Structure 1
Amino acid sequence: MTTFIRGATLLAMGGGTGAEPFTGDLLIEGDRIAAIGPSLPVPEGATIIEGAGKLVMPGLVNAHLHSNEALFKGRYDNMPLEVWMLYAYPIRAAKALPPRLVYLRSMLVAMESLRTGVTCITDDLYESPRSELELMGAAIDAYDDVGIRATVSAHVVNRNFLDTIPFTRDYVPAHLQEEIDAIQPVTTPDYLAFVREAHARFHGRSGRIRTMLAPSAPQRCTPELMLAANELAKEWNAPFHTHIVETKVQSVTGPEFYGKSLVAYMDDLGLLNPWTTIAHSIWVSDSDIERMGRAGVSVCHNAISNQKLGAGSAPVRKLLTAGVNVGLGSDGICSNDTPRIFDVMKAAALMHKVNNPDWSRWLNASEVLHAATLGGARTALLQEETGSLEVGKKADLLILDAETASFTPLNDIRNHLVYCENGSSIEKVFVNGEMVVENGRLTRVDEKALLAELRALMPEFLEYTKGVEAANGELEPAFTKVVQRCNAMDVGMTRWASDA
């Protein structure tokens, strides 16, 4: 299949032009970009797309999402992370979902992602009560069927839940502690067997699906498991994807558990590397940032989720200055409630203007676009394959109508994309050289039928969810006290108003 886009405005985000738009042509042959530049010859038999009045740019990358939350979208509000997790990641009364429901849940996320310009996702997939190959396969089947590029994990926690958060045993009633203590976490050998089988089954499917290693967080996993996962990540050239210091509670956790910050703990274990991707990185000190920059890690900045959960604001300017690569993520589909990266771009661009009085250090639109494209690709170790329009890279791109209200009057295209556009101007979406969205319609699946099927299953799921919520709600008073206690502690920094 050969496609020729003629005379469009191109925003390459790489290849020497970076975020400077220019007018030119783009040739797709098979799954890759074959040529890009002005006045290219049109190959015989090519499908021609006239680019006058159109903007062509790389597909957006969602560097961190949890699709498993999608059935809770719009359900929870006004909870800090540690309380919210009781409901979104229940430890009591949870049971494995039917594979078809997992397929539809994943398809819900993927369909909205593609229609709003996200061509590549990193799904840090967690199933309650634990990962199962059949369920991971159901999610991957959805991504394969719809045509999106996806890196998918088997997110793992292998420590007792009560021992992952400080002070819980001071407040959780004894009978509930006894019940939770009886839950057997996955062992390191069992986890390694699982991820090896998942990698063998799913990695490389359709040229779009990859697997990764995802130990949940340093306080939630044993050193043995994290070190073993890190070795596999290095061997497979896969991301080591984890969460570090998202909340004030977690900033207290490092000193309480290890006598040092969680970043320092990871560094001392040898777990900060160029293939390490950290979700959040909010409550980090200057010393932490220096360690991260020296190691060449990536950070996924989840600007909307961090605000909804009251977690704080990552010091993105400091991270960039230190040499940390930054991508953008939606985070969970009920801590953000959508996978739309256009929304995240605007939030990220705005929130850092209010936490730094030095406006010369505010993020500009080009930096935000880089984080949403090439920076995001780097978090998944896909920067050589996607994230920019360059010869030899995968043809993952968007064609937008540049004559809509979002681009009128047209001033700086980059500012329009970050501050004015919301995905509604998208006309076509290509992934792997294939048009997967045309005029707002998904070309590979029947979105209306799939949504109707999911809606039909929701009453039974919601009835089950009410029971799970009631069981885990018994823990909420204790976890409220934990959060309040940690919030009152002095950790020598604030992430509600500081990125100076």
Structure 2
Amino acid sequence: MATVIVDADVITMDRDTGATPVTRSIRIEGGVIAEIGDSVAIREGDTVIDGTDRLVTPGLVNAHTHSWETLYKGRYDNLPLELWMLYSYPILGIEPLPADVVRLRSLVFAMESLTSGVTTLVDDVLETPGQSAGQLAAVFGAYDEVGIRANVSGHVINVPFLDTLPFVTRWLPDEIVREVGGQSLLTADEYLAFSREAFASHDRTGGGRLRYMLAPSAPQRCTPDLLRGATELAVARDAECHIHVLETRTQAVTADLLHGTTFVEYLRDLDALSPNTTFAHGIWLTDSDIDIVAEHGVSVSHNPLSNMKLGSGLAPWRAYHDRGVTLGLGTDGCSSSDTPRILEVAKAAALVHKITDPDPDRWPRVEEVLTAATVGGARTARLGDTVGSLEVGKRADFLVYDLTTLAFTPRSRLDHQWVYSENGSSLEYVYVDGRRVVDHGQVTTVDQEAILREFRAMMPRIAEWQDAVDRANSVLHEPFTRMYREAVAYPLTAGR
């Protein structure tokens, strides 16, 4: 049985009409867009949706997030990244989360994502103190159950934590240095073996919706052999290799001190860049770094909400566009942005760069922002041929908005209103692989209310655990503050 949408306003995000709304009918068969045009065939037994007063768009792509942080939503404020990580990704007094907690956390995160129109997640699953096969399976299982599309990572750090930051050891007591330095870490071979097993167990599961991706945490947090090996394995498996690069000024200082170069130059010299590589953040790049990114076909996930909240800076939007670099949009985790809703990120991206450049010709255009939120994000995830636009042969991941709501009243330029006006009140249906997974705010694939009740019942115990871990790590707050202030004052030289 097929689904047919008749005479709707449609934003296809394809090469022909882009973000310009057009009137179209769409036929979906077997989870695929079978026809799209002025009219399409309607057959007996088809489910027909009247497109009158409806806007149909591609599903949104969250090109960088961390589902771990679902448990930390709304917990911290006014902390730069290096101090914020002490609490959201603590290094003292932390125990692994049980698989049942991971499953519940992932279900809640996926439900909020779907009900806001996000149909694809790039979930960089950074478990602390480290990821197990059971935890990874719990994430894949939850996403399969709820019906979302996702790239799910094996995130890895295999450099001693205190070696990833400048100056900090001079401020720490010796016993803390010994305790943190004694933590066990994976070798590159162990991580690559884990990833090969993950590919065998999880890649292309969920009817092809779910994929495994490599995720070396950052160039300062991984050994050279792991950075090279992860890049090579990603290329061999046509998978995404997702890596945090130059999110903060402190990281630019770290590159300068460790290598006398930028981290982009360092990765290039290691042969650890490819078209499968996505940089999360990519803020503190030099002009020559951006040339290297473009030359190697590297993509960038732009995370303005998180970057503003943590005071990290802003990615050079127009410079990336000028070099032809593919951009996606990411929420980052719910501890640093407090939301999985990509439309909030899209609005922020459309607005914040207008105050960084006095030339309005260089400000983000709505079509550019929507491209990053849809087909650009899909390309960063190695899914550009699969989703991100409404085209014949692509998977039927799409959204249906009610245009009679206050958010679209008066009805004007629908592409602009999608970015600037829509607040979630207008979203009627969400489809993934041609299957209706959200109906008027309710997830249809799982018992949403039962999951939320279970999650709420669990949270007092989780909050007690978080409070205890916060107290244990607070001993690091003053030394890390000193490190941060020293890094802020350090004069950058490499590539500048």
TM-score using structure 1 length: 0.97
Distance 2:260 2:467 in 1: 39
Q: How much has 1:492 moved relative to structure 2?
A: 6.7
> What is the root-mean-square deviation of aligned Cα atoms in Å?
1.1
**Hey, what does 2:174 align to over in structure 1?**
174
Task: Give the unaligned 5+ runs of structure 2.
Answer: none
**Hey, what does 2:490 align to over in structure 1?**
489
Is this contact kept in 2: 1:153–1:212, CA < 8 A? yes
Equivalences for residues 421-436 of structure 1 within 5 A: 421-436=422-437
Distance 2:139 2:38 in 1: 41
**Hey, what does 1:255 align to over in structure 2?**
256
SS at match of 1:331: coil
Is this contact kept in 2: 1:406–1:421, CA < 8 A? yes
* Deviation digits for residues 284-316 of structure 1 (CA, Å, limit 9, x no counterpart): 111111111111110000010000001011101
**Hey, what does 1:82 align to over in structure 2?**
82
**Hey, what does 1:496 align to over in structure 2?**
none
The runs of 4+ residues in structure 1 deviating greater than 6 Å are: none
Is this contact kept in 2: 1:15–1:390, CA < 8 A? no
Q: Which moved more, 1:403-412 or 1:154-163?
A: 403-412
Distance 1:57 1:173 in 2: 55
Distance 2:231 2:392 in 1: 32
Instruction: State the one-letter code of the partner of 2:105.
Output: R
Equivalences for residues 145-164 of structure 1 within 5 A: 145-164=145-164
Distance 2:295 2:424 in 1: 36
Equivalences for residues 199-278 of structure 1 within 5 A: 199-206=199-206, 207-278=208-279
**Hey, what does 2:281 align to over in structure 1?**
280
Q: How much has 1:422 moved relative to structure 2?
A: 2.1
Instruction: State the one-letter code of the partner of 2:450.
Output: A
Distance 1:14 1:177 in 2: 53
Distance 1:185 1:474 in 2: 23
Equivalences for residues 426-465 of structure 1 within 5 A: 426-465=427-466
Task: Give the unaligned 5+ runs of structure 1.
Answer: 494-500
Q: How much has 1:490 moved relative to structure 2?
A: 2.7
**Hey, what does 1:32 align to over in structure 2?**
32
SS at match of 1:392: coil
Q: Which moved more, 1:484-493 or 1:132-141?
A: 484-493
Instruction: State the one-letter code of the partner of 2:146.
Output: V
Instruction: State the one-letter code of the partner of 2:19.
Output: A
**Hey, what does 1:332 align to over in structure 2?**
333
* Deviation digits for residues 130-183 of structure 1 (CA, Å, limit 9, x no counterpart): 010111111111111111001000100000000001111121111100111111
Distance 1:189 1:492 in 2: 34
Distance 1:306 1:368 in 2: 17
**Hey, what does 2:370 align to over in structure 1?**
369
Is this contact kept in 2: 1:147–1:431, CA < 8 A? yes
SS at match of 1:213: strand
SS at match of 1:353: helix
Distance 2:410 2:423 in 1: 16
**Hey, what does 1:410 align to over in structure 2?**
411
SS at match of 1:469: helix
1:43 has 2:23 as partner: no
Distance 1:406 1:450 in 2: 30
Instruction: State the one-letter code of the partner of 1:441.
Output: Q
**Hey, what does 1:290 align to over in structure 2?**
291
Instruction: State the one-letter code of the partner of 2:275.
Output: P
TM-score using structure 2 length: 0.98
**Hey, what does 1:165 align to over in structure 2?**
165
Q: How much has 1:407 moved relative to structure 2?
A: 1.2
Q: How much has 1:43 moved relative to structure 2?
A: 2.5
Is this contact kept in 2: 1:15–1:389, CA < 8 A? no
Q: How much has 1:491 moved relative to structure 2?
A: 2.5
SS at match of 2:351: helix
Is this contact kept in 1: 2:125–2:152, CA < 8 A? yes
Distance 1:71 1:278 in 2: 25
Is this contact kept in 2: 1:12–1:390, CA < 8 A? yes
Instruction: State the one-letter code of the partner of 1:165.
Output: L
**Closer, same or farther in 2 for the Cα pair 1:15/1:285, shift >3 Å?**
closer
Distance 2:90 2:442 in 1: 35
Distance 1:459 1:429 in 2: 32
Q: Which moved more, 1:212-221 or 1:411-420?
A: 411-420
SS at match of 2:455: helix
Q: How much has 1:25 moved relative to structure 2?
A: 0.1
SS at match of 2:56: strand
**Hey, what does 2:387 align to over in structure 1?**
386
Identical columns (%):
50
Equivalenced residue count is 493
